[in-house]
Amino acid sequence: MDVSSLLNCYLDSCKRHEVCPNSAVLSWFSEAKVQKSCQEKCNIVVSLNRLKNDDIPPLIDAFLALDLSDIDSVDVLDHGSTCVLNEEHILSLMNATKLKLRVIDLSSTSLKKDFLRDLCHVGLPCRVLKLRSNNIQKLDMVGRFMRLQTLNLDFCTSLTSLQKDCFSCMPNLMCLSMCETRVANLWTTTEVLAEIPSLLELRFQNCVCCKDTGPCNLSSGEKGSLNVINTCSYSAGETTIGLLSLRESFMAPEVHRKTDNSSKVDERKFLGYLQDRSDGSPSPLHNLRVSPKPQNEVQYKSKNVSGTSNKDIWHHPSPICFEKHYRAYMVASLPRLAVLDNLPITKKEKETSKTIVSEFYEYLPYKHNRKKNVVNILQKRETGTSGVHYGNSSKLKQTYCYGKSQCFFSRSLSAARFGSSMWPSLHPVSSFSHIYKEENKRLRPRQFEYHPSNSSLMAFGTLDGEIVVVNHETGNLVGYNSSIGMTNSVLGLCWLKKYPSKLIAGFDNGCLKLFDVNHMPAKLGDRSCGSGAVHFEDFEQLTSVHVNSTDDQFLASGYSKGVALYDISTGKRLQVFTNMHREPINVAKFAHHSPFMFATSSFDKDVKMWDLREKPENPCYTASSSRGNVMVCFSPDDLYLLVSAIDNEVKQLSAVDGRLHMNFNITSTGSAHNYTRSYYMNGRDYIISGSCDEHAVRICCAQTGRRLRDVYIEGTESGKSIFVQSLRGDPFRPFNFSVLTSTMRPTAKQEIIKVNLLASSHDADESSRDQGQAHRSSSLSCEVIRA
């Protein structure tokens, strides 16, 4: 069927649908006739902004015969339609073109969630797809995109993460662009991208003069080895796509020049266009990171590819670009990649990247450099062999020291399970809901602590002054206290070690109480008068409490320059130490093994060590940070202090003299209100760190400082931003911790989320179903709680 027959088919369909032929559609067929007469490739460009809803059904009828026609390809483009088109009609139109479909550009269309879901779950036979929508949050393109070679998701500013198998149906995908999205997780992102067998070009930020993913045409050097890629031309079967020739489709009319050479662009006009766009439409991510620079700029200062100053090279970076050594990690993790962020990847850079990654990142815990099988490790543990080879001998070394053997196998098992999935198990501690009898209200956690000797217990205090003790393994309520007239937030909690049923709580109004869980009702909503609670003298503007190692004294600190010492047995305040710092003290912490030694941290940027035996008038030593200190804590063996200052300044000091042992070099955001908190995990092997303006928890080796992984805490409800308020490592389970999170919109919500790095999110889903069945079959009358 020639073009004329296809046109007649369109006109006949217009008659049947009783609509007038669209003049734009007629011009498309006329252009196709001209192309055919000149023996050129015959391509129809469908501009959605030239169509109305009534125009689409006749066009669909005509396109259903495309397979039998002389038309070589069809592009569907949208540059901002004044008419709201029926999205079902658009999808039907694209499907009608079948294998003739080449380019889809929906970057100017306001796409609804249902349309995006259908498109992503069904798929399309196009070779180039460009989407731009604020409704895409988690990329889950599970439909058939078998012919797709180029995917552009630039400016999808709600896109935060890539689902595990989102590219599994795109075996021919070679070019991927995700500039100015909210993708931030370096670990899960590279894990997903590594599964794309054909990926050659990738970018999360663009060179100022580049519209596609290929290497910058203005860059100097390194072109010779990438001639094929520099032309941006790839072959797929019998069809060859010149990506630079598609620049016309992806470029706004005001920056496109009609020249004989379609790959040439008026640089001055193009740069001016970008500047105008930048001035007129400020990036929604502009203030996400302030001080750090995208990593390509840091590592490639010598490559001024645009001829402008370095600060002008990289535009529209996604948050992932601000991770330290972002480029090196990407290059090392994606060995088939040829171009990253419009810069070619050389053989030398690949080798350098491997060195950088091995220096600053841990592939697996405890220096394991390859994934191992859990079953094999268990078999070796049973037979008493460590599996370690020595010299040229093929014999395995036998491990006779039982203690060392148990530690070795425990760490090996952790490393094997850790490497099994990049998506750890996350589920709320309070994954159960409860409504008070008299009012519709939820518990709102503000502080929490694991029990020091009972691995199943956790206590948390709420913004409304309630003390709640739960079995975080089963979800059962163990104790609840809501004193009459108390509506102040619980800011401090600390369990006693020798008396495991007791804990001290401090409230923001200065009230201090000692509770006994054995005297607390195990029913939510019971209003008690605080029976069994011991009251201490108030400490004004309280923020933290901490009990010493012998359970006879505790410290209280707050928005003051001193701390107070209390006697637990008598309930009396023994002494107030004043003017210990120049600004308010955020935290005072006793050592784990000495009842006299304690450390304080303050916004005056100092951390100080004190000894009660020497009357705390002068500190044992003072160590300083560059920003105000948010908190300090001792390592479990008291050898180190972990200090956290504002905006991700995390350091480990020698507890003996305060000398710097390790700087973890976590990227700052530039925010003066990004309060950072850090704790130990797995004894003192690793540290976890989170900040109140971010939703990521960083995990670093405490001895080497190398980053093991970041865990991003994502909300289950759309439109909500999640922030890390506090966190704690599980003292009994390796690579387990909990995070107190807060959401700010549309309504504030607090929740404690458990993270298990040794289990996958799939395992967590099955576990949740099992727990749900257990709860339904349980005869316990315990109410369930939701924060």
> Is residue 88 pLDDT above 50, yes or no?
yes
Confidence band (pLDDT; 50, 70, 90) for 513?
Answer: very high
- What is the C-alpha to C-alpha distance for residues 427 and 760, in angstroms, rounded to an integer? 11
Query: Where do runs of H (alpha helix) occur along 400-478?
Result: 402-418
CA dihedral over 482, 485, 490, 495, signed as positive or negative: negative
Cα dihedral: 90, 95, 99, 101 (round 10): 10
Confidence band (pLDDT; 50, 70, 90) for 767?
Answer: low
**Model confidence over 436-487: pLDDT tens digits?**
434 556 788 999 999 999 999 999 999 999 999 999 998 899 999 986 666 7
What backbone torsions phi and psi does residue 212 show, to the nearest 5 degrees? -115, -175
Q: In this predicted structure, what is the pLDDT of residue 219? A: 57
> Is residue 716 pLDDT above 90, yes or no?
no
Which pTM does this prediction carry? 0.80
**How many helices (DSSP H) and strands (DSSP E) are in the chain?**
15, 45
pLDDT: is 147 or 783 the higher one? 147
Confidence band (pLDDT; 50, 70, 90) for 248?
Answer: very low
> Is residue 787 pLDDT above 80, yes or no?
no
pLDDT: is 773 or 545 the higher one? 545
Percent share of the chain, pLDDT over 70: 75
- What is the C-alpha to C-alpha distance for residues 149 and 650, in angstroms, rounded to an integer? 43
Question: How far is C-alpha 621 from the geometric centre of its chain's CA atoms?
Answer: 38
Confidence band (pLDDT; 50, 70, 90) for 405?
Answer: low
pLDDT: is 127 or 432 the higher one? 127
**Please, are residues 33 and 2 in contact by the beta-carbon 8 Å criterion?**
no
Question: How far is C-alpha 492 from the geometric centre of its chain's CA atoms?
Answer: 29
**Model confidence over 174-208: pLDDT tens digits?**
999 999 999 999 999 999 999 999 999 999 999 88
Residue 54 token pair: 């009534």
Confidence band (pLDDT; 50, 70, 90) for 533?
Answer: confident
> Is residue 138 pLDDT above 90, yes or no?
no
Q: In this predicted structure, what is the pLDDT of residue 527? A: 58
Confidence band (pLDDT; 50, 70, 90) for 269?
Answer: very low
Confidence band (pLDDT; 50, 70, 90) for 66?
Answer: confident
Tokens 């967590």: give the residue: 764
Buried b (16+ CB within 10 A) or exposed e, 585-618: bbbbbbbbebbbbbbbbbbbbbbbbbebeeebee
Q: In this predicted structure, what is the pLDDT of residue 784? A: 28
Q: In this predicted structure, what is the pLDDT of residue 89? A: 87
Confidence band (pLDDT; 50, 70, 90) for 731?
Answer: very high
Q: In this predicted structure, what is the pLDDT of residue 309? A: 37
Q: Which helix (H) or strand (E) holds 77?
A: strand 73-77
Tokens 């949050």: give the residue: 137
Mean pLDDT, residues 542-567: 96
Q: In this predicted structure, what is the pLDDT of residue 774? A: 43
SS3 content of the chain, % helix, strand, coil (to 5): 25, 30, 45
Report how far apart the first and last C-alpha atoms of the chain are (Å, whole number).
Answer: 66
> Is residue 491 pLDDT above 90, yes or no?
yes
3-state secondary structure 699-711: EEECCCCCEEEEE
Residues ≥6 apart with Cβ < 8 Å to 770: none
Q: In this predicted structure, what is the pLDDT of residue 722? A: 85
* Range in 282-291, 667-676, 712-721 the model is least confident about: 282-291
**Please, are residues 76 and 124 in contact by the beta-carbon 8 Å criterion?**
no
Mean pLDDT, residues 136-154: 89
Residues ≥6 apart with Cβ < 8 Å to 326: 186, 294, 295, 296, 320
Q: In this predicted structure, what is the pLDDT of residue 433? A: 45
Amino acid code (one letter) for 719: G
**Model confidence over 669-688: pLDDT tens digits?**
999 999 999 999 999 999 99
Omega cis (within 30) before 746:
yes
Is 14 in a helix, a strand, or coil?
helix
Question: How far is C-alpha 285 from the geometric centre of its chain's CA atoms?
Answer: 15
Of 534, 421, 419, 523, the residue nearest 466 (C-alpha): 523
Q: In this predicted structure, what is the pLDDT of residue 281? A: 40
* Range in 15-29, 427-441, 630-644, 691-705 the model is least confident about: 427-441
**Model confidence over 332-347: pLDDT tens digits?**
999 999 999 999 999 9
CA dihedral over 764, 183, 721, 725, signed as positive or negative: positive
* Range in 57-61, 538-542, 634-638, 763-767 the model is least confident about: 763-767
Q: In this predicted structure, what is the pLDDT of residue 765? A: 53
Calculate the alpha carbon distances from 229 to 102, 208, 609 in Å.
20, 19, 60
Q: What is the DSSP letter of 755?
A: E
Amino acid code (one letter) for 622: T
Side-chain-side CA neighbours of 78 within 13 Å: the count stands at 24
Q: In this predicted structure, what is the pLDDT of residue 3? A: 84
> Is residue 730 pLDDT above 80, yes or no?
yes
DSSP assignment of 613-671:
GGGGGS-SEEEE-SS-EEEEEE-TTSSEEEEEETTTEEEEEETTT--EEEE--PPP-S-
Is 718 in a helix, a strand, or coil?
coil
Q: In this predicted structure, what is the pLDDT of residue 747? A: 66
- What is the C-alpha to C-alpha distance for residues 218 and 344, in angstroms, rounded to an integer? 12
**Model confidence over 291-339: pLDDT tens digits?**
456 665 444 443 333 333 344 578 899 999 999 999 999 999 999 999 9
Q: In this predicted structure, what is the pLDDT of residue 46? A: 93
- What is the C-alpha to C-alpha distance for residues 228 and 216, in angstroms, rounded to an integer? 13
- What is the C-alpha to C-alpha distance for residues 348 and 242, in angstroms, rounded to an integer? 28
- What is the C-alpha to C-alpha distance for residues 553 and 536, in angstroms, rounded to an integer? 12
Confidence band (pLDDT; 50, 70, 90) for 373?
Answer: low
Of 196, 204, 168, the residue nearest 317 (C-alpha): 204
Mean pLDDT, residues 619-648: 97
Q: In this predicted structure, what is the pLDDT of residue 612? A: 95
> Is residue 759 pLDDT above 70, yes or no?
yes
Q: In this predicted structure, what is the pLDDT of residue 539? A: 95
> Is residue 222 pLDDT above 70, yes or no?
no
**Please, are residues 496 and 504 in contact by the beta-carbon 8 Å criterion?**
yes
Cα dihedral: 197, 200, 202, 207 (round 10): 180
Is 54 in a helix, a strand, or coil?
helix
Q: In this predicted structure, what is the pLDDT of residue 458? A: 96
Percent share of the chain, pLDDT over 90: 54
Confidence band (pLDDT; 50, 70, 90) for 137?
Answer: confident
- Mean pLDDT, all residues of the chain: 81
Q: In this predicted structure, what is the pLDDT of residue 238? A: 33
> Is residue 39 pLDDT above 70, yes or no?
yes
> Is residue 574 pLDDT above 90, yes or no?
yes
Residues ≥6 apart with Cβ < 8 Å to 210: 216, 217, 342
How is the beta sheet containing 736-743 ordered, strand by strand? Answer: 424-428, 749-760, 736-743, 722-729
What residues pair up with 567 in beta bridges, in sequence order?
Answer: 553
Residues ≥6 apart with Cβ < 8 Å to 742: 692, 722, 723, 725, 748, 749, 750, 751
> Is residue 768 pLDDT above 70, yes or no?
no
Q: What is the DSSP letter of 243?
A: G
Q: In this predicted structure, what is the pLDDT of residue 562? A: 94
Q: In this predicted structure, what is the pLDDT of residue 110? A: 73
Of 700, 694, 728, 726, the residue nearest 713 (C-alpha): 694
**Please, are residues 111 and 78 in contact by the beta-carbon 8 Å criterion?**
no
Mean pLDDT, residues 521-526: 75
